Chains A and B, each alone.
Chain A
Amino acid sequence: MSEALEPRVQQKTSAVAVVRDLVVAAGVVILIWLGLRLLRSETALSGLGPFTGKLIQALVAIALGVVGIWALFIVVNSLVEHLPARATTAIRPFVFVLPAIAVVSLYLVFPAVGTIIQSFTEVPEGEGLFFNYAQAFSDPKLQLALRNNAIWLILAPAGALFIGLTFAALVDRIKREALAKVFIFLPLCISGAGAAVIWRFVYEWRPPGTPQIGFLNAIVTALGGEPIPWLQQIPTNTLALIVVMIWLQAGFAMVILSAAIKGVPTEMIEAARIDGAGELAIFTRVVMPSIRGSMITVFTTIAIAVLKVFDIVYVTTNGNFDTDVIANRMFNEMFRFRNFGFATALSVILFLAVVPIMVINVRNLRRQGIGS
């Protein structure tokens, strides 16, 4: 932590200023409250017609969220500055830090603890503490989901890493590098749901003999094959979904690895070349070992994203035809079946799977001297 500084001058306080700031604070609170009421009200904006009403609602909501948060900070700070100097110094850091701490406590700390407790306590009458976990591991559908997660966990990061590394190495040698990169990079800003629609269309299947409108089956039939139901046929469908993830994440791998490759000293490459090493040997024996840290970062980061993958599966197959994964099952148990005990056990299993990968990731970052 950096050494903290304290201001040397404290603002002088007058009774008028205190009253003024109190009035302003009360006004801000009332305005925010009114704004929230307006947003929740079904009837307030209905007289404006659907189009105008929606736009006004948007303006009110966005102004409320954006201005409201700043107004709250400003008024709280102005009130704290009227306290005696020592109290101001003692309290002010908490004005800065506590709102964030409160939100992460409410949204992460307490709920996570609650989830762990509920995964043991939310069991049918007369069952033991580990009922949900026993259920989870004896359910064949869930075993299948865990197996799928394992396949995803290996193939998706490896695929994205391979494409990202290959592309980063290749574009390092061409002139229009920046332009070429945009094409690989672009899917990174596409949602899982959007990507699911894009790839459902690529994988679209029509009966043999009719024109194929899916790109992949058009290629297959043009080469003389039978159209393949990519998303229904087991086990091709899980691989087809993993391809979507690789397509989304390769750009991330490329950005990180491209920066790393550029960091490899040119002298090192030159020296290897003078020693007579071929281009491929230089890449595998000189470049790759020196960007090992970045490769681990890429692999672990994508691996964590893969463990939590939900939207791709939910929108393409919703786990049917043996393609389920744990995050999708967790969502369905929670949201569709209201099976909360089981859902919490699944999220704890997910968490336990993420932790070791995160540990590898953090250790690796430490070794590289980042984020220590």
Chain B
Amino acid sequence: MTAEATEAFPSRTAADTAVRSGGTPGKRESRGLLVRALVLIIAVAWTVPTAGLLISSLRTESSVSSTGWWTVFAHPFEFTQYTLANYERVLTAEGLFDAFINSLIVTIPATVIPITLAAFAAYGFAWTKFRGRSFLFAMVVGLLVIPLQMSLVPLLRIYGEFDLVGSFVGVWLAHTGFGLPLAIYLLYNYISQLPKDIFESAYIDGATPFTAFTRLVIPLSFPALASFAIFQFLWVWNDLLVSLVFLGTNPDVAVLTARVSQLVGSRGAAWHLLTAGAFISMIVPLIVFLSLQRFFVRGLLAGSVKG
């Protein structure tokens, strides 16, 4: 994790840091203390809300509703005060296990489909010739301006007519449509920069554009593909609006965010359940994010705005 983090945010050497901090060594030290204190304060402030959620999710119903979560720090290692009962309850009785699986069913294809379509399209725009190429590319990039709210009403009607509301395929395609402009834009920026020679030699060796794509473009674009994949995965997993509109809250298909927001409505005061439910909805993004953050950071720095 530390190695990953270091790569994600390349640090300066100690000497360089000293140069940039300026001042005499003594002055630097006292100022360094102030800087470290400020960093600590902000970092703690940013972590407390999530920590409170996690700790509360592990406490019993009666203690969550009668005392603050920070009281556990009086005896942090008294393990009898912790329990997994809340998790058991939300996963079974409140149906979050099914919602968890539904989130996977929605998110994995809704990440792979747009990235596949976008990679093919970016390659087509960058390395093949056809009429209308510039116009179509400009259109796709221009669509970045359109908020997805602009699409909801007409799509909702069409989905109603074709009985697509509540189908996984319907929501995959919706996420694909909404994610494609950014995906094509980011992947085009990368794929169009690949060196021309590799295609020339591949064609001399008898490759078709399709094999050049699968054997050269895909492996060489791995960093860009990974960045966008993480982006789209987090976006789809965390989305509430699209899944409410196109899947709804029927327990057979509802995803985690939708079920958690329902839980807030139905059990707004049952904090032992709400905290456990919310944490379950956060586990997968946290793991994806912490293990792959350098790709995520790279994606952010590549300039990303989502419609």
Contacts and interface: CB of A to CB of B under 8 A. Distances in A.
B25 interface: no
Looking at chain A's contact residues, the main secondary structure is helix
B168 interface: yes
Contacts of A65: 108-110, 112-113, 168-169, 172
B245 interface: yes
Contacts, number: 398
Interface in A64-84: 64-66, 69-70, 73-74, 77, 81
Contacts of B16: 266
Contact of B68 (A4, A191, A213, A270): A213
Interface string A93-124: 11111011101101111111011001000000
Looking at chain B's contact residues, the main secondary structure is helix
A66 B56 contact: no
A54 B99 CA distance: 10
Contacts of A189: 234, 238, 282, 285-286, 288-289
Contact of B128 (A4, A66, A218, A301): A4
Contact of A190 (B20, B143, B208, B238): B238
A211 B71 CA distance: 11
A97 B120 contact: yes
Contacts of A95: 120, 124
Interface string B131-145: 001101101100111
A90 B148 CA distance: 34
Contact of B117 (A57, A100, A192, A214): A100
Interface extent on B, as a size class? 35 or more
A307 B208 CA distance: 46
Given A100-B121, A173-B17, A191-B238, A112 B151 contact: yes
B84 interface: no
B167 interface: yes
Contacts of B48: 202, 215
A327 B128 contact: no
Given A92-B128, A343-B153, A198 B50 contact: yes
Contacts of B268: 200
B105 A61 contact: yes
Contacts of A335: 244-245
Give the 8 A-B residue pairs with the shortest CB-CB distance, closest first: A107-B177, A65-B109, A96-B124, A191-B238, A100-B121, A114-B154, A111-B151, A4-B129
Interface of A: 1-9, 11, 36, 39-40, 50, 54-55, 57-58, 61-62, 64-66, 69-70, 73-74, 77, 81, 90, 92-97, 99-101, 103-104, 106-112, 114-115, 118, 163, 166-167, 170-175, 177-194, 196-202, 204, 211-215, 218, 247, 250, 252, 255-256, 258-259, 262, 266, 269-270, 273, 279, 282, 297, 301, 304-305, 307-308, 310-311, 314-315, 327, 330-331, 334-335, 340, 343-344, 346-348, 350-351, 354-355, 358, 361, 365, 370-371
